[in-house]
């Protein structure tokens, strides 16, 4: 019995050591695009989620949507190691978003447009964002759409009055009917969500009204809501495309400061008090907003090698 217990303990310690080593070999990866968004998916990588370098070239060219653009790319690595990608495939006129997947970030499945909104008066589907619900073991895709005359107009034109919607899927083949996720009483886009613990969810969103154009947060006990009222703004004006990453005991919120044409960052421990971290981070010029995920170092090294070979 003693030897059995010793063997079990040894196996457990080995497993934990292997897991820790594997995690240590991951890179942070930041999805990106360059204006005018017709060249496709670009990626940045980092060892510390603070100092970023570009991977040369475009990884995936846009092939779906009326305008065939690839804006607001969002990638999430599923528990089985598949990288799921969604993106804005048209400025206006489409009721869906682009989708593809990959096991190595090099070879991608045929692109598809996922029709998300059934209301034919829908103006757009902007900035789809992936969120994995580990409790329901399914993905949420959250996006912003404008459906004219559906909500109180406020300061916005009827064709620019957005709210946040979502769908769910377990296999990216079948999708639940779209539902309204959040109506804060003003036009809102560019939502990103994270789970801090059981029953503790945070949403960072853009107030897209003409007196706002800044970032706020909301809180919920479930990713499906109900969500709290939006906070006061924590960013400067003309900020959009937020994404979050945890570094040690702090969260960095990256955002596109689009009037300054730079990437800004705030850091926080509690999403109530924020410190400007723009001067702490290094983000390549021309980077436009996406999301941050993790990938094994070997996959990123292979991707860098391939892109460098294609440049020759």
Long-range CB contacts (within 8 A, 24+) of 151-156: 151/183, 152/185, 154/185, 154/186, 154/187, 154/209, 155/186, 155/187, 155/209, 155/210, 155/211, 156/187, 156/208, 156/209, 156/210
Q: Is residue 20 part of a domain?
A: no
pLDDT digits (tens, 9 = 90+) for 238-249: 999 999 999 999
Q: How many CB atoms lie within 10 A of CB 18?
A: 10
Q: Taking Cα atoms as reference points, which of 259, 300, 290, 263 lies closest to residue 278?
A: 263
- Residue 56 in domain: yes
What pTM value is reported for the model?
0.91
Contact between 177 and 118 under an 8 Å Cβ cutoff? The reply is yes
* Within a domain: 18: no
Q: How many domains does the chain have?
A: 1
Tokens coding 184: 């804060």
Residue 8 lies in a domain: no
Q: Is residue 41 part of a domain?
A: yes
CB 60 within 8 A of CB 100: yes
Inside any domain, residue 1: no
Give the domain extent around 154.
Answer: 27-311
Dihedral, CA of residue 73, residue 68, residue 35 and residue 210, to nearest 10: -80
230 vs 25, more confident:
230
Count other Cβ atoms within 10 Å, centred on residue 182: 21
Residue 17 belongs to some domain of the structure? no
CATH code, domain carrying 32: 2.115.10.20
Task: Please write the tens of the pLDDT for every residue from 267-280.
Answer: 999 999 999 999 99
What percentage of the chain has pLDDT greater than the value 90?
86
Laid out side by side, the sheet with 71-77 consists of: 71-77, 83-88, 96-102, 112-115
Which of 5-19, 27-41, 123-137, 187-201 is predicted with the least confidence, judged by mean pLDDT? 5-19
**DSSP letters for 268-282:** ESSSSS-EE-GGG-B
User: How distant is the alpha carbon of residue 27 from its chain centre?
Assistant: 16
Block residue for tokens 């991608």: 108
- 12 belongs to a structural domain: no
In which band, very low, low, confident or very high, does the pLDDT at 212 lie, cut at 50, 70 and 90? confident
Q: C-alpha dihedral over 202, 74, 92, 63, to 10 degrees? A: -170
pLDDT confidence of 13, banded at 50, 70, 90? Answer: very low
For the sheet with 126-133, list strands across it. 126-133, 138-146, 162-169, 179-182
Select from 311, 265, 307, 270 the least CA-distant residue to 287.
265
Give me the pLDDT at residue 7, please: 44
């Amino acid at each position: 019995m003693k030897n059995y217990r010793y063997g079990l303990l040894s196996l457990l310690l080995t497993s934990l050591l292997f897991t820790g080593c594997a995690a240590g070999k991951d890179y942070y990866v930041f999805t990106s695009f360059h204006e005018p968004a017709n060249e496709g998916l670009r990626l940045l990588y980092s060892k510390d989620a603070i100092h970023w370098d570009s991977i040369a070239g475009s990884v995936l060219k846009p092939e779906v949507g009326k305008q065939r653009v690839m804006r607001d790319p969002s990638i999430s690595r599923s528990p089985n190691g598949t990288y799921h990608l969604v993106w804005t495939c048209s400025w206006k006129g489409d009721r869906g978003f682009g989708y593809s997947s990959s096991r190595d970030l090099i070879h991608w499945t045929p692109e598809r447009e996922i029709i998300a909104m059934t209301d034919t008066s829908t103006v757009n589907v902007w900035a789809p964002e992936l969120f994995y619900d580990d409790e329901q073991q399914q993905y949420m895709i959250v996006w912003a759409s404008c459906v004219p005359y559906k909500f109180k107009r406020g300061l916005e034109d009827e064709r620019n009055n957005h709210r946040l919607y979502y769908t769910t899927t377990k296999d990216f083949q079948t999708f639940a009917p779209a539902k309204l996720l959040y109506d804060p009483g003003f036009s809102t886009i560019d939502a990103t969500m994270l789970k801090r613990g059981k029953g503790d969810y945070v949403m960072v969103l853009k107030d897209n009204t003409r007196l706002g154009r800044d970032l706020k947060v909301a809180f919920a006990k479930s990713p499906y809501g109900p969500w709290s009222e939006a906070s006061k703004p924590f960013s400067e004006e003309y900020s959009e495309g937020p994404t979050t990453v945890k570094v040690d005991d702090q969260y960095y919120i990256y955002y596109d400061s689009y009037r300054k044409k730079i990437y800004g960052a705030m850091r926080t421990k509690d999403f109530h008090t924020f410190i400007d971290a723009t001067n702490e981070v290094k983000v390549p010029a021309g980077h436009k907003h996406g999301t941050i995920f993790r990938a094994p170092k070997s996959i990123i090294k292979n991707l860098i090698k391939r892109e460098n070979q294609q440049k020759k």
